[in-house]
Structure formats: C-alpha cells, structure tokens
Amino acid sequence: MVISHQNLGEYVYANTKMVQEANRTMRLSCHEEFVSWKGIVDPFWFTEREMPEDAWEKTEEGKAAMAEAEERNAAQGAVQSDETEGA
C-alpha cells in the first residue's frame, strides 16, 4: 500500500528503488521487530537517511520542540526509575 498526496489510481508501477525505500521506511519505523514476507532481509533497510537541509528538525522551532520532548522523556524516565526503586 502506498499513501500519497496525489490521486494515483488503483495500481502504480513501483521500480526496485521505490520498493527498497518503502521497505527501509517501514523497517526504520519499527521499535523492536519487523516481519519479512519472504524471510529476506536487505542491509539497505538498516541504513539511516541523510536529513535534508530544509528538515523541520533543523529549524529553530524544531530544535526547541525536540529539546522539550527530550527533557520530558528524561523526566518521565526518572519518575519511572524512582517508582521501580520504591517498590
């Protein structure tokens, strides 16, 4: 399945590069495990993409939001650790 901002119709030809990129995107979004229909794993699926220069994460707003999220996650981890130690 491909989700697009364009009306692509029912079927669209996908070349090998498009399929590999879709597989990498799905694999990189997995937190712990993924399933390969044919049991084949391609090393390309494990390569990180280079972030584009105009990525949101590189804007001042993006940097501030990510720092805030990191602080919030660190605080939540500290609370969970304290709860575990107190049990």
Convert the pLDDT of each residue in 19-68 to its tens digit.
Answer: 899 899 889 888 889 888 888 899 999 998 888 899 999 999 999 999 99
* DSSP 8-state code for residue 57: G
SS3 content of the chain, % helix, strand, coil (to 5): 55, 0, 45
The model's pTM? 0.51
CB 57 within 8 A of CB 64: no
Alpha carbons 2 and 21: distance in angstroms, whole number:
12
